[in-house]
Amino acid sequence: MADAAPKHDVFQAIADPTRRKLLHLLGDEELPVTVISGHFTMSRTAVSKHLRVLADAGLVKDRKVGRETRYRLDPEPLLELKRWLAYYERYWENKLFALKRFVEADGDAEGVESFGLLSLADRDRDSSD
| pLDDT of the chain, 129 residues: tens digit per residue | 345 555 568 989 999 999 999 999 999 899 999 999 999 999 999 999 999 999 999 999 999 999 999 999 999 998 888 888 888 888 888 888 888 887 887 755 555 555 555 555 555 555 555
Q: Please tell me what DSSP assigns to residue 5.
A: P
Q: How far lies 42's CA from each of 3, 33, 74, in Å?
A: 32, 13, 24
- List the domain boundaries for the chain: 10-74, 78-128
pLDDT at 73: 96
Q: Looking at the domain covering 10-74, what would its CATH class be? A: mainly alpha
pLDDT at 128: 59
Torsion angles phi and psi, residue 108, rounded to 5: -70, 165
pLDDT at 18: 97
pTM: 0.66
pLDDT at 127: 54
20 Ramachandran zone, left/alpha/beta (phi>0; psi -120 to 50): alpha
